Chains A and B, each alone.
Chain A
């Protein structure tokens, strides 16, 4: 089955850039996603990238996709304290219900 892996923790100083990495196994994934979860809250879709793209930029967020290495990254420019949260990378199951497979999440801590 699909397997999505992320490092568990990342700490950055306010104003610096954050880079959160993810590796996935299903090469047939059409879309790959980044979700944000704040403490005690549900999931917020941050951005997504179609598999035929290498890069997508959306304001402070940049997604890079390396299909050959099955590696996805999320860069947050000018990281703010409000960016402190858990970030999940996810891929969609193409074979059935189009459900999402999530990684274990990366906890980003922004130090003032």
Chain B
């Protein structure tokens, strides 16, 4: 139990739709990172939010966007869904943006299927 909760756990969307995934970080953590894990692949970094500001972004198009709220929970939004967006989306929280890996905690993920 990492204290990082994600919702929904599973969802199915149609190509072209929009989706919002949510993450509650562990208590006291001000940094949230999002990762996409396609089937058979390792997780890939999408972006990180630190104190409500984007603090780094991986190689993902602008239709992937995020928010972090004053309580440090976070949302990942994906617009104009494509079939290749089908993946497990993982949220990770940490004490701050420079936390070492031993203090980065992952949620169980949200499984998104785009049909």
- Interface set of A (CB-CB < 8 Å, partner B): 4, 30-31, 33, 41-45, 48, 88, 90, 92-93, 96-105
Contacts and interface: CB of A to CB of B under 8 A. Distances in A.
A104 B45 contact: no
B28 interface: no
Interface in B16-62: 33, 35, 40-45, 47-48, 50, 55-56, 58
B98 A101 contact: no
Interface residues of B, number: 30
B102 A100 contact: no
Nearest to B106: A43
Interface of B: 2, 33, 35, 40-45, 47-48, 50, 55-56, 58, 90, 92, 94, 97-102, 104-109
Sort A-B residue pairs by CB-CB distance and give the 9 closest, nearest first. Answer: A97-B56, A102-B42, A99-B45, A97-B48, A42-B108, A43-B106, A96-B56, A33-B101, A42-B109
